[in-house]
Structure 1
Amino acid sequence: MRSSLLLAPLVAVSSFLSLLSGAAAIRLIESKSLNSCQDNSSFTASLFNVVFTPDNRTFTFDIVGVSSIQGNVTFGIDVTAYGYKILTKNIDPCTVKDMTGMCPMATGQLDINSNIQLDQDVINQIPGIAYGVPDLDANVKIHINTTANPLVSLACVEADLSNGQTVDQKGVGWTTAVIAGAALVASAVTSGLGHSNTAAHVAANALSLFGYFQAQAIVGMTAVSLPPIVQSWTQNFDWTMGIIEVDFMQKIATWYQKSTGGTPATLLNTLTTTSVQVEKRSVGQLAKRTVDQTIKLLVRAHEIHSRSNNAAETVSNTAVVRGIKRVAFRAGIEATNIFLTGLAFFCIFIVFTIIFVALFKGFCELAVRMKWMKSDKFLDFRNGWFTVLKGIMFRMVLIGFPQMTILCLWEFTQRDSPAEVVLAVFFFFGMTGTLAWAAMKVIRIAKRSVEMHKNPAYILYSDPAALNKWGFLYVQFRATAYYFILPVLVYILVKGMFIAFGQGAGTVQAVALLLIEAAALIGASVIRPWMDKSTNTFNIAICAINFLNTIFLLVFTEVFNQPGIVTGVMGVIFFIMNAAFSLVLLILVLIATVYAFIRKNPDTRYQPMSDDRASFIKSQTQLTTELDALGATARGDTKGGYKHNLDLDDDNDSWSSDSMRHPSNMPLPPSTANSSAHYQEPPRSPIDPSVPLFPAGGRGAPPNYQDRSANASPAPAAPYRDNSSTPWQRGAGYDH
C-alpha cells in the first residue's frame, strides 16, 4: 500500500514528462548492457540487446556470452522500477519453444537470439509509468539456478532498462546558451547607448542565470549515485563547464596527450568488449567492489578459455563510471580528454570575444564613415576600445573561474600527461591570482574612497578607469557591499575543491556542498548585497534552490537508508523543480533582454540605485539640472578639475584613451590636491560632508562612514560639467 502511494506522484507527472522528453511513438523497454551482480558468476556477456514491446507482448533478446554452466537450469527474472519490484517470473528454457537450445546449458560461447510471447497478465503487472517517465530508473536482474536445486545460484546478471525517452535534449542546452548569451550582448549594447541602469540589471541577472546553470552541471559532476533522470537533466548544462563533444577536437586532444607522454583512455572504443555501467542509485554497492570483481571476472574468463575450444576470444569486462568520468562518458568524451576539452572551449570563448569586440570596433568606424550611424554613437568605445577589451577579458576570467577551478584541480589528481599538468597549474593559479588581486584592488579603492569622502561609491563610480576595468567585480552589488566579491570567489574555490578532490567520496561531497550552500543562502539572505530589491530576490531564490538541490543530493547518497522508491520519486521531483525554476529564470531574463532592445528608454523600467552611484558616474545624462550640478560637485568636476593624488590603477596604460586625459581628470597643484608628501592629515574630499548631496525631499545624502572635522571647507559651486565621457567609459552594466 505504501509503495502504491509513493508511485502515485510518478503516475501523475508521467504525461507531462513524456511531452518534455519527446515521447516515442512505440512503447518499449530495452537494455543494451549486462553486468554481473554476483561474485564468481558463471556467465558473462559481450553482447546484450533486449527489447520488450508491450503492445505485441513480445520479449526479444540477442545475447552473446561465455558460460561455464552445465546441465538444466531455470531463470529467475526480477524487474524493479524506482526501487519497487514490479515483475517476478521464473522461466524454464526446457518448456519454452524458442529456448530449447538452452536445455541443457553447455560450457563455452553462448548465442541466444529469440522472441518470447508473454501472457497478458504479466503485461498488466507493469505500471504505465514504465513507458511514460523519461530516463526510467529500472533494472532487470536474472538469477540462473540449477533445476535440481533452485536455491543454488550459478550466476547473476543485471541490466539497466530504458524506455527510449530522456530529458537530456540538445535543444535545452542550445536554448539556455542562446538566451544567456543574448542577455550579455543586450547589456553591452544598452550600456553603449547610454542606458546604464538597464545594462546593469540585465547583465547581473544574466550572469546569475549562468551561475545557476553551472551549479546544475556541478551536481551532475559529483560522485554521488544519481538517479538517471537527474543525470540526464544536469547533462543539459555541461556546456557551461566547457564539456562539449566535437569529433575533431577529441582527435586533437588525444594526439596532444600522446605527444606529451600521456596514455589516452580507450573506453569509448571498446564498448563491444567492455560493459560500461553508468553508476546510479541501484548499483551503488557494485561500485564499491568494481576492482575486485573485474579481476575475478578476468581470471574466470581465462579459466573458461583454457578449458573450452569454443570459448570466446574476447571476454566481457566491467567498468563503472561515476562523477566527472560519468559526465564525460555520457557526453561521448574520453575521461583523459575532458580537461583539454574544457580548457580549449574556455580559450575559444575568449578568442571569439576578442574577435567580436574588434569586429564591432571596425563596424562602428565603417558605419560612421559611411554615415550609417551618428558620429557620437559609441564614441569613447571607439576611442578607447582596447581599454574596454581589457575589462572584458577580466569578466571572461570570472565567468570561466568555476569551470577551470574544477577541471584544473581534477587534472592534478589524474595527471593525464606532464604537459597537461603544467597547463592546469598555469591556468588555475593564474586565474585565481588575477581575480584575488583584482578583488583586493577594489577593496583598496573603496577604502580610499571612504577615507577621503566617507562613501565607497565616490571613487568606485567617479573614476572612469577604475569603473571600466574593475567594475565587473562590484557593480552588481550595492556600493556598501563592494567586498562581497571576496566571499563569492572563496565560495567558488572551496566548492570546486570538493568536486575535484572528492571524486572517490560522494557522501563527503554531498555533506560539504550542503554546508557550503547553506552558508551561501544565509549570507545572501542576511547581507542582501546585490544592487536592489529585485536583483536580491533573483539571486536569493537561486541560492535557495541550490541549497534544496544539495538536500536532494544528500538523500541520493542513501545515508538515511530510505526505501529505493523514495529515492526514485525524489529524483523526479528534483527534475520537475529545477526545470520549472529554470523556465521562470529564462523567461525573466528573456523579457528583460527584449525590453532592452525594443524600448526607446528602457531605464524607465528600473528604479534608480539607492547607493547614489548615479551621482558619481560621469556624464549621467538622466539627472535633472539641479541634481546634475550637485553630482558634478560631488565628482569634483569643478573648473580646473579634480583628481585625487593616489594612482589607483597600477596598470597605467588603462588610462590611455584621450578622454581619460581630459583636464577634468588631471590632478590639482599640490597646494590644493593634498598631494604633499609631508601632509599628515587625511586627504579631504572637495565636498563638505555637512552639506547634503541631494536637496530635501530627495533620496538623502550618502551614508557617513567616519567622523570628520566640522571645519571642513564648504563645497564649491558647480558651474562646470564635463560632457566628453560616454557610458562606455563608465562601464556600468557591461562590467559585470
Structure 2
Amino acid sequence: MITRTRMALLVFFTFLACLRSSLAQTSPVSTDKDGNRYVQYTGEDGPVLLADNRRPSLYTADFGDCMGGSTINVTRFDASYYKDNMTVLFHLAGETGVKSDVVMLYIGVFAYGENRFDLVFDPCNANIASLCPMNGTVPIEASGIIPVSQEDVAGIPPIALSIPDFEGEAILRIFSNTTRQQIACYTAVVTNGNSFSHPAAVGSVLGIFTFVAMIASFATAIYGTAVPTMRLHYAHSLSVGVVFAVWHHIFFTGALSVNWPSVLVAWWSNFAWSGGMIYSSTMQDSINKLIGNNIGNTSHVGAAQTGGDNTDVGGGFDTSLLYKRRTLEARQAPMSGGSTLGTAEQGYHWYGDPVPEGLPLPGNFSGFAGTLGQEGIRASNAFMTGFLWFIILLVILIAAVIAFKWSLEGLVRYKKIKQDRLQFFRDHWLGFTAVITLRICYIAFFAMLFLSIFQFSYESSSGVKAIAGIVFIVFFAGMLGVASYAYWYRRHTVDFESRPQFERKTLLGKIPWFGFKDAPLQPSRGDAVAHDGNSNMDESAAKPRFWKRLSTGPALVHTTVNSIHDDEDYTRKFGWLAARFRRTRWWFFAFWLCYEFLRAIFYGGASGFARAQVFGLLVIEIVAAGFIIWMRPFEGQRLNLLVVYALSFSKVITVGLSAAFDVEFNLPRIATTALGIIIIVVQGILTILTMIAIVVGSVSSYMSLTRNQEGDDFRPKKWAGIREKYFNHLDKSVKDLPGESRKDEDEIFVNEVNPSTFDIPINISTTTLPQPSATPIPSGSRPASRPVSRAPSVRSVSSGNLPFGARAHRMSWSMRDFQQ
C-alpha cells in the first residue's frame, strides 16, 4: 500500500482521482470586459475569483512517444493540479488510423524514480466518447476539471510544490482489447515550474561578464609600444581562455554517460552557449537535411530515445495483471468531461509539445543526449551545431578587429584622437588578427576535439563524420604542431652557449656517427669565486635535471640566457601561447594541450562506457591537479587562484561525485538529487569566483591602461596607492624569484647566536696560503702542486669555544654546496 507521503506527489493527475470519486462538477467560468477568464471557487473564506491562466502547482510539460510505431498519434497530453481550488485539469487529443477498436488506458505517475500512483480504466466509463470505441474517422479529444478532497492531497509535502526541477514523469499506455497488446505509449515530464534553468537571464549575465573579460584582455594586449611591458600587463589581466575553461568544465561535465538528476541538467543549460550549443530552428533544420534519417540512437549514451522501443520505461508492464485490475475497477463511477481543449489563445499555457525523434524521452536525463535535450538539440547534431557557432564567432571577432583598426585610422585622419594613439596595434594589425585567430582555436581546442570524437563514436551520418574528421585533424595536428614548433623555436633561438651543438662520434666503437654535444654550464659570478676547485665533481650533478632544463633563466639553470619574456621576437610570434605563464613555466601551454586532449578522448571516445569514462577522467583530473598545484604556472596570482585551486578542485569533486550516478550502482533518485545539489554548490562557487576575478581583472586592466598617467592625473585618486602597489607587484612577479625569507624580529638574539663572520677568529696556517706572484698564472697551466685558492674550510675555523657537536659557521658557499 502506497504511503500518504509518496502518494501525494501524484494526486495532481485528477482524472486518476476522479475515477475513484463521485460525479465531478465544473466550476463556473466568467470573463471580464478585458477578456480575462476567471474561475469562481468557494472555500472556507467564501467565493473567490481565480485567474484561469494562473500557473498550476504541478503540471506536465513536453511529452514523447515511448513505443515507436504507435498506432495512435497523440498530439496533446497534459494534466495540471491547482492547490488553490483543489482541482485537476486534464486534456487528451490525438488521431489514429485504426478503423475501429475498443481500448483500455493505463496511467502511471513516477516521481524520483519510483512508481507513486497508477490506474487502469475504460474510456467508456470516463465519458471519453472519442475512444469509446476508437475510430479513425473521429479525432480523439477529451478534457475535464475534477475536484479533489483534502484527503487526496493531505500527504503532499509543501517542498514538492516548490523544489527546483521536480523530477517526475507521467506515462500513458493504450492497449487494444482485441489483441490485448500495447498499441501506444507516451510519457510526459512533470514539473512545478521552478527550475535552475534560466539561460536567458543567467546565460546573458555570464555572457556579459565574459565579454568584459575579453575587452579587458584585448585592451591590455594592444596598448603600449614596448613588447615586454605590453606582455607584462597582458599577463596580469584575466585570461579569456581561463574563463572559457571554467564554463566548458561546467557544461561538458554533462557529457558523461551517467543518469543525471534533473537539477544538474537544468543548471548546465545556463552554460550551454559557451560550448556552442545554442538552439536555432533554422540551423537545426539545415543540419537535419544534411544528416537525413540517420539520426543515431541516444541509447548509445545511456538515454532512452523518443520514438524508439522503450517498453521497459517506468519498469515495464504485465498485460495480464493490467486486465485483471481493469475487471476489478470496472465498477468505478464515470467521469464527466468535455471535448474543449484549453489553448494558449484562451489563456492556458501550461502544457508541452510533442518531442521530435532523436531527442531523449521527457524525464530521461542520461548522458550527453540528456544534457542536449534540455536545449532541444539532437545528439547527432551536436558536432555541427558547435562547429557552425565556432565559425560564426571566429568570423565576428576577426571582423571586429578589422573594423576597430580602420575606425582608429578614421579617427586619426579626422583628428579625433592623437596621431600616435595605439600606433603599435595599427602598424601590426594583421599580426594581431592572426594571433587572435590562433588564440580562439587554442581556447576552443577541447570543445572541438570532444565534439568531433563524440561524432565518431555516435552512429549518425557518414558525411558529418567526414567533416568531423577534417576538423579533428586540423585542431589536433595544427595546435599540437604549433605548440611543438613554439617549443623548438625557443630552444633553438637562445644564446649560442645554450644551443645544441653537434660533434663527431662513433657508433659501436667503429661506425662514424654524430651526436649532440652538451653545452657547458655557465656558473654565476659568485659561484666562480666560491668554486672549491674539485675537478672530480660528478658530471651528472652539474647537469640540470629534465624539469629544470624545461625552464629558462639563471634561477634554475645557471646560464646567462635572458628571460623568455624579454625576447620580443618570441613574444610576437608565440606570446598568445606563453605570455601569461611564469618565465620558468613558459612551456606550460604544451602540457595544457595534452591534458585537454586526454580529457576529450575520455569524454568523447568513451561515451557509452560510464565506468571507464568516469574513473579514467578521475585519475587524469587528480594527477593534473597535483601537477598544476606544484607548478603554479601563471604569472598572475588571480589566474593561479582560479585555475590551480578552484578549477582543479571543482573538476576532481565533480567527476568523483558523478561516479555515483552510474545506473549499475542503482542509487535512489532522491540521493542523486542531493549529490547533484552538492555539485551545483561547488560549481556555483567556482562561477562566483570567476565573476569576481573578472571584475578585479577589469580594474587592474584599467590601471594598466593608465600606467602612463602621473599620480595626480589618475582617477579615482583614492586608487592611486592601490595602483602603486599593483605596479610594484608586477615588477616583482616578472622576476619569478623565490620569496625572501623573513627577518627575525629579535635581531640581538640572532647576532648572539650567529655572530658576523668577521667576528669569528680564523686560524689559518700561513704555510697553506699561496705565495704572491707578480706574474698571473692562467688557470689552464696552474701547477698541480699549488693549492687552489678557496674559501676557508670548516676545519680551518677556530671552534674552541663551540659546544660539543656544534658546527662552525661557514663564511662562504660554493656551487657544489648549493647542489648538495
Q: Same fold (TM over 0.5)?
A: yes
* CA-to-aligned-CA distance 1:2-25 (integer Å, 9 cap, x gap): x9999xxxxxxxxxxxxxxxxx96
Structure 1 residues 266-302: Cα deviation after superposition (integer angstroms, max 9, x where no partner): 89xxxxxxxx99999xxx796799547499x9xx9xx
Contact 2:63–2:355, Cα closer than 8 Å, also in 1: no
- How do residues 386-397 of structure 1 correspond to structure 2 at under 5 angstroms? 386-397=430-441
Q: CA deviation at 1:45?
A: 5.0
How does 1:166-245 map onto structure 2 within 5 Å? 166-169=195-198, 170-194=200-224, 196-204=231-239, 206-245=240-279
Q: Which amino acid is 2:552 matched to? A: P
Give distance in 1, aligned partners of 2:62 and 2:276: 29
Aligned to 2:628: 524
Match of 2:168 in 1: 138
Paired with 1:316 and 1:213, the residues of 2 have a C-alpha distance of 28
Q: 1:145 to 1:612 in 2, by over 3 A?
A: closer
Higher mean displacement: 458-467 or 325-334: 325-334
Preserved contact between residue 225 and residue 279 of structure 1 (Cα < 8 Å): no
Give the alignment partner of residue 159 of structure 2, picking from 129, 139, 150: 129
- Structure-1 residue corresponding to 2:80: 51
Q: How far is 1:53 from its partner?
A: 1.7
- 1:502 is matched with 606
Q: Which letter does structure 1 place at the counterpart of 2:730?
A: P
- Aligned positions of 1:698-717 closer than 5 A: none
1:304 matched residue in structure 2: none
Does the aligned pair in 2 maintain the 1:264–1:337 contact within 8 Å?
Answer: no
Q: Is the CA contact (8 Å cut-off) linking 1:221 and 1:324 kept in structure 2? A: yes
**Does residue 412 of structure 1 match 2:447?**
no
Deviation, structure 1 residue 566: 0.5
Secondary structure of 1:203's match?
coil
Is the 1:79–1:138 contact (alpha carbons within 8 Å) kept by the matching residues of 2?
yes
1:232-381 superposed matches below 5 A: 232-254=266-288, 257=290, 262-263=291-292, 291=309, 293=311, 321=360, 323-381=367-425
Q: Are 1:584 and 2:689 an aligned pair?
A: yes
The 1-side partners of 2:271 and 2:659 are apart by: 21
Deviation at 1:516, TM superposition (A): 2.3
Question: What is the CA-CA distance between 1:370 and the residue it aligns to?
Answer: 2.6
Check the 8 A contact 1:388/1:469 in 2, yes or no. Answer: no
Match of 1:456 in 2: 552
For residues 625-663 of structure 1, the C-alpha deviation after alignment (integer angstroms, 9 at most, x for no partner) is: xxxxxxxxxxxxxxxxxxxxxxxxxxxxxxxxxxxxxxx
Identity %: 20
Q: Counterpart of 1:63 in structure 2: which amino acid?
A: L
Q: Give the partner amino acid of 2:478.
A: T
Q: Distance in 1 between matches of 2:586 and 2:579?
A: 8
Secondary structure at the counterpart of residue 331 of structure 1: coil
User: 1:324, CA displacement in angstroms?
Assistant: 4.0
Within the candidate set 399, 405, 428, 2:443 is matched to 399
| 1:427 matches 2:471 | yes
* TM-score for the superposition, normalised by structure 2: 0.59
CA distance in structure 2 between the partners assigned to 1:159 and 1:134 by the alignment = 18
Q: Compute the displacement of 1:515 (Å).
A: 2.2
Contact 1:438/1:470 (<8 A) preserved: no
* Structure 2 CA distance for aligned equivalents of residues 593 and 128 of structure 1: 44
1:10 is matched with: none
Listed one character per residue, the Cα deviations across residues 385-408 of structure 1 (whole Å, up to 9, x for unaligned) are: 212222222101101112211222
CA contact (8 A) 1:84 1:565 kept: no
Return the letter of the residue paired with 1:536.
N
Residues 129-173 of structure 1: per-residue CA shift (max 9 Å, x gap): 2222222112346799999xxxx9999975431122332222222
Partner SS for 2:84: coil
C-alpha distance in 2 between matches for 1:50 and 1:542? 43
Do the aligned residues in 1 keep the contact of 2:258 with 2:661 (CA within 8 Å)?
Answer: yes
Say which SS state the counterpart of residue 157 (structure 2) adopts: coil
The superposition leaves residues 497-526 of structure 1 with CA deviations (integer Å, 9 ceiling, x where unpaired) of 222223323343222322222222222222
Deviation (angstroms), 1:589: 0.9
Q: Aligned partners of 1:384, 1:115: CA distance in 2, in Å?
A: 71
On the 8 A contact 1:29/1:162 being kept in 2, the answer is yes
Alignment of 1:52-201 (within 5 A): 52-64=81-93, 78-80=109-111, 82-83=112-113, 88=117, 99-101=126-128, 111-140=141-170, 159-169=188-198, 170-194=200-224, 196-201=231-236
Distance 1:62 1:209 in 2: 46
Q: Between 42-51 and 582-591, report the one with greater CA deviation.
A: 42-51
| Alignment match, 1:486 | 590
Letter in 1 for 2:578: Y
Query: For 2:145, what is the secondary structure of its paired residue?
Result: strand
What is the one-letter code of the residue matched to 1:471? G
Long gaps (5+) in structure 1: 7-23, 268-275, 301-314, 616-703, 708-736
The runs of 5 or more residues in structure 2 that have no matched partner are 7-52, 225-229, 320-353, 361-365, 499-521, 523-550, 554-561, 708-722, 738-813
Structure ranking higher on relative contact order (CA contacts 8 Å, 6+ apart): 1
Match of 2:719 in 1: none
Residue type of the partner of 1:456? T
Distance 1:582 1:291, change over 3 A: same
2:726 pairs with 1:605: yes
Change (3 A) 1:431 1:293: same
Measured after TM superposition, the shift of residue 468 of structure 1 is: 2.0
The answer to whether the Cα contact below 8 Å between 1:50 and 1:60 also exists between their aligned partners in 2 is yes
Q: Contact between 1:77 and 1:142, CA under 8 Å: does it hold in 2? A: yes
The 3-state SS of whatever aligns with 1:244 is: coil
Q: State the alpha-carbon separation in 1 of the partners of residues 479 and 131 from structure 2.
A: 70
SS at 1:374's partner residue? coil
RMSD: 4.6
Counterpart residue identity of residue 512, structure 1: G
Q: Which amino acid aligns with 1:479?
A: R
Asked if the contact 2:66–2:308 (Cα under 8 Å) also holds between the matched residues in 1, the reply is no
